[in-house]
């Protein structure tokens, strides 16, 4: 099993550009989520999904869109990148209920 796979690992965008961060898991987890990590801010929840076709907002959803068409994939879209979105992004998945979350390797995004 590959676990949680995120692509790309690194990305530089210009302000106003759009892009999609990919996340895939092969553990048949119902629950998937996106976090951003900034110095001193910990991991902040952007969006999450409890199953295919169901998504909801987290703590910091503005500027990001998600969709969950399959159990395996949970892409994160930036429609118009801003410098404030410079961060490290982590995708995580887990089984429904209180179980451990598995994280991807992260995507380091810089918006100039």
Strand locations in 17-106 (E): 19-25, 31-38, 42-51, 54-57, 64-66, 76-78, 87-94, 102-103
Tokens 């969709």, residue located: 67
**Helices then strands, each counted (H, E), the chain:** 0, 11
Q: How far is the CB of 39 from other proteins (least distance, A)?
A: 10
Residue closer to other proteins (CB basis): 85 or 107: 107
Q: How far is the CB of 54 from other proteins (least distance, A)?
A: 11
**C-alpha–C-alpha distance, residues 35 and 92, integer Å:** 8
User: Could you say which residues in the range 54-93 bind other proteins, by CB under 8 A?
Assistant: 56, 58-59, 90, 92
Residue 112 lies near other proteins (rule: CB under 8 A): no
Residue 96 lies near other proteins (rule: CB under 8 A): yes
* Site residues for other proteins per CB under 8 A: 31, 33, 35, 40-45, 48, 50, 56, 58-59, 90, 92, 94, 96, 98-106
């Amino acid at each position: 099993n590959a676990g949680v796979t995120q692509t790309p690992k690194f990305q530089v965008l210009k302000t106003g550009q759009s892009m999609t961060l990919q996340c895939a898991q092969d553990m048949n987890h119902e629950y998937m989520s996106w976090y951003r990590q900034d110095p001193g801010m910990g991991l902040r929840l952007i969006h999450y999904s409890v199953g295919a076709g169901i998504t909801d907002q987290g703590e910091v959803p503005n500027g990001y869109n998600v969709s969950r068409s399959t159990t395996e994939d949970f892409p994160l879209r930036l429609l118009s990148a801003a410098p404030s979105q410079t961060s490290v992004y982590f995708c995580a998945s887990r089984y429904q209920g209180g179980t451990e979350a598995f994280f991807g390797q992260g995507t380091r995004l810089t918006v100039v």
